[in-house]
Structure 1
Amino acid sequence: MIVSIDYESDTPLYTQLYDEIVRGIASGRLESGENLPSVRSLAGDLGINLHTVNKTYQLLKQEGFVHIHRQKGAVVQAAGSLPVTDAFRARMDRKLESLASEALCRSMREEEFLDRCRSAYRSIRPQAKDTHEGGKEQ
């Protein structure tokens, strides 16, 4: 599993790791049923604390991206299998509002902002049809 971590970033390591794994699942680099490295193994490979990786895995479990089994460890769930919940929508709205606010402060045009949102969304799975449109409700 290839993970890119910026040790100089202000973004916490567990957040960076979480984002990288979710991106891997969404893009298909991490497939449904695939085992993630053990906490100890990934922490050693990245040179980070075991608790940081454990926190990431627990967040991934909480959000439904992985199931954690005693013998198999963290196992990836299928991309597109998670429901679009109200909690997810609220979290997404907060992040988008923050980005939109900064874009407005920088005089970015709405069209450019929306184009960048579309581009980011499509860059994750450029070959796939939009199977996530509308999402599943929970």
Structure 2
Amino acid sequence: MFIQIEPTSEIPIYTQLANQLIELIATRTLKASEVLPSVRSLAADLGVNMHTVNKAYHELEKKKIIEIIPKSGAVINSISAKGPSDLQMELIKLHLKPLVAESIVYGMNKEQILSITSSIISELTEG
């Protein structure tokens, strides 16, 4: 599992970690039912505070991407065959909307936004 933290980024370290774990799950590098490294172990490997890893894990748990089982660790949840719930769809829309709006502010048109989105989907699913 390769995770790279950029300490000088404007993005908080726990968010960088959570986002990279989501990408690893999306690309199937990490699979359902796999146990993630312990908070202590991952913090040591990345050279970050244990609270940072703990916060990232709890963010993923709130999104129902992982389940934190006391004394067992963080386990990746199975991806639902039913697809995302209505609440998950609304949350995704809530997060995407500002990025789409920013793209429009920068002068991108619908085709450019869709092209980038399609490229990202390909990168995550066909790799």
TM-score (norm 1): 0.81
Matches for 1:1-138 after TM superposition, within 5 Å:
1-80=1-80, 83-126=83-126
CA RMSD of aligned residues (A): 1.9
The count of corresponding residues between Structure 1 and Structure 2 is 127
1:70/1:103 Cα in 2 relative to 1: closer, same or farther (>3 Å)?
Answer: closer
2-structure distance, mates of 1:59, 1:34 = 18
Q: Secondary structure at the match of 1:107?
A: coil
1-structure distance, mates of 2:70, 2:102 = 44
1:24/1:56 Cα in 2 relative to 1: closer, same or farther (>3 Å)?
Answer: same
Shift of 1:15: 0.8
Q: Which amino acid aligns with 2:6?
A: D
Q: Which amino acid aligns with 1:47?
A: G
1-structure distance, mates of 2:81, 2:12 = 27
Q: Which runs of 4+ in 1 moved over 3 A?
A: 79-83
Structure 2 runs not aligned, ≥5 long: none
2-structure distance, mates of 1:29, 1:81 = 19
Structure 1 runs not aligned, ≥5 long: 128-138
Cα deviation code 1:59-92 (max 9, x no counterpart): 2122221122233211112345585133322232
Q: Secondary structure at the match of 1:74?
A: strand
Q: Which amino acid aligns with 1:74?
A: A
Cα deviation code 1:20-60 (max 9, x no counterpart): 11111111100122111110011111111111111111121
Structure holding more helix per residue: 2
